[in-house]
Structure 1
Amino acid sequence: MDYSAYDTADFVCDDSFVAWVKEGRDGAHWEQVIKQYPDKQEQILQARAIILAAAQLPPFQLKAQDQQQMWDQIRSQMDTTEAAPVKKSRFIYWYWAAAAVCIMAGAALWWMRPEKETAVVYTRLLKEAKLDGNKRIEEINEESTVRTVRLPDGSSVVLEPGARISYPVCATNNCKREVYLSGAAFFEVSRNTQQPFIVYANEMVINVLGTSFHVKAYDKDSLVQVYVKTGKIALSVQPLGSMVISNVSANQQAILQRNTLVVSVQLSEQHHIELQAPEATTYSFVFNDAPVDSVMSTIENAYGVHIAYDKVLLADCRLTASLTDEPLYEKIRLICRALEADCIIKGNDITLSAKGCHRY
């Protein structure tokens, strides 16, 4: 079908489009439409906002006061959409009137249908994930402090209390770098230009090569938030497929309104995500002739790990290094190389065996 002439009202009145927004049906078809018609992003987002606004009305009460409530919902959703960092065109009033008529005409039918899960959340994502014959591991932080998880590709994830992630493992250690997140976590991603790293956090899809960022994505929250510490990420949203909505650079944060799929990006010199941020997001890992004990304490406090080493033997050792962009375990590897030490890593316990240093 040719969607080149579609405007917002056309999408709202399209039964297949409405079914996709409300129930996720015909997802492959609409993802292909998005790819084929990238210039329709604005109309698709606005049509979705209208449909979801109508869906928030009580069932079987489309009287005069309810029609006014519908218009209030639509205006509210469109006010939010207008705040998105995308150039918006002006729409003629009758477009919205036509859209509302289509919604009201089919409202009763939709509300008579059994409710299905429409929110894109962790459990639903896992059910729909393609394993490609590989196993998937789930890590859950059931403790009251942060917990660091090492991924097969060398990337590290600092999980806040209650957070969980799922990721694939395979015999060749060449699995897709795809992580599913519920809760809040800080990611430090190993750079690999041949295989991007993807985080699925509710409706937000985060695509990176090598960088560090913090994500807050709880199932019941109305927002998904991401703060980029270093590097750059590309954001897309579900169910809009792989269409990039925003690029977010270091010291910027992005906020996704889950009910409208609108993403706003703003500069943030400080970490403004409203939660107890993992310490790894705030510590500096630039060391200039620093005592080893100071370096180890910084890493332990930042990542919630325990590093065992002979403090007396390494008392004279000092390090000069910039380890800002490296994941935790790459930091440890580089430190061990500098100290000519052997390292053993078992979960959050790290043991260093070194000969010591002498200062003259």
Structure 2
Amino acid sequence: MDKEQFLHLIEKHLSGKTTHEEEKILLRYYNSFQKNDGEEVEGSLGSDDQKKVILDNIHKEMDKEDKRRLWTKEILKYAAIGILLLGSGYFFKTIFIRTGSNVPLGPRENSITLEMENGSTKLISEGATINIKNTEGNIIANQNGNQLVYDNEADSEELVYNTLRVPYGKKFNLLLSDGTKARLNSGSSLKYPVKFLQGMKRRVFLTGEVFLEVQKDSAHPFIVNADNLNIQVLGTKFNVNAYPEDETADVVLVEGSVQLRGATHGLGSILLKPGFKGSYNKKTHDFDTREVLTGIYTSWMEGDLVFRNMTFQNILKKLERHYAVVIINNNNKLSLEKFNASFTNEPLIKVLENLKATYGIEFEIDKNQITIY
């Protein structure tokens, strides 16, 4: 188990959501670091006696550390568990925040929009039930609440595209004409055919993040173009993260198989297996794969934010999208430092307060604008 997988499981354990099998995995991992000078735990991590053993060892480890930061008791409790179980010689800069209400602070007044084939734009009102018509007045899709459903029987003999744009602070779902399901994260857009045509590949264009459940059709491969990365599948479930400001475009495969290929000829390709993440470096054009816990990368669909080895400035950018605010970072010292952070349905003010307590930042709020010092 690597650091990323451990952090995900310990978060689930602390919130009481781990399965029996995951508890066993954590127990084995904990005991693997106690063979030399610690006391092993039997059974589970749940009893008071067992927790006391763990906490006693945590305090021993903490006494060895150079406490260069001031930690609140709440943060210290969770971070210390990470230090002990990972057997590391330094503090992992990790935030664990408990569940609360997800109340955005000062939301932007942006709307979900649908760009039609002629360039005109329709506003999508969340929760509505309406018909979407093309320029000729024909129904091409239906909006059912927070989902657009495209009709496979739509009369079209040429490739016609629509583009759905989801602003900061919102999410939206699509059911494409072939039955493929798409869930768009905030700050994302997807360009797709109103109807996929016989004899042609099913091709869509992504900016941002989407989770796709692709309807299997071996005669018509499904291709996602995402920031110079081409992802080709037949039928599968996977998450694509390709925001422009990120250094890499990442694909996490839940089911099936996908092939990743650079858009420029000669950049090579990789075949991804379920449970793996494939990353495409936009600067070097290199590919990298690693085994991951896929739930970390799909947790955004449940309203959670989980960051792994991410720079502070990128974390702030994702907070901007999630909470629909503007964040100005004047703390250059932290900008390029990398952190692990988990925010579970917290109001933004609580997130900021925890960042302040953990890293000593200061912040000011002016309507929907936040300034970090």
**Same fold flag (TM > 0.5):** no
> Max radius of gyration: which structure?
1
Q: 1 or 2 for the larger relative contact order (CA 8 Å, sep ≥6)?
A: 2
TM-score by length of 1: 0.38
Structure richer in strand, relative to its length: 2
TM-score by length of 2: 0.37
Structure richer in helix, relative to its length: 1
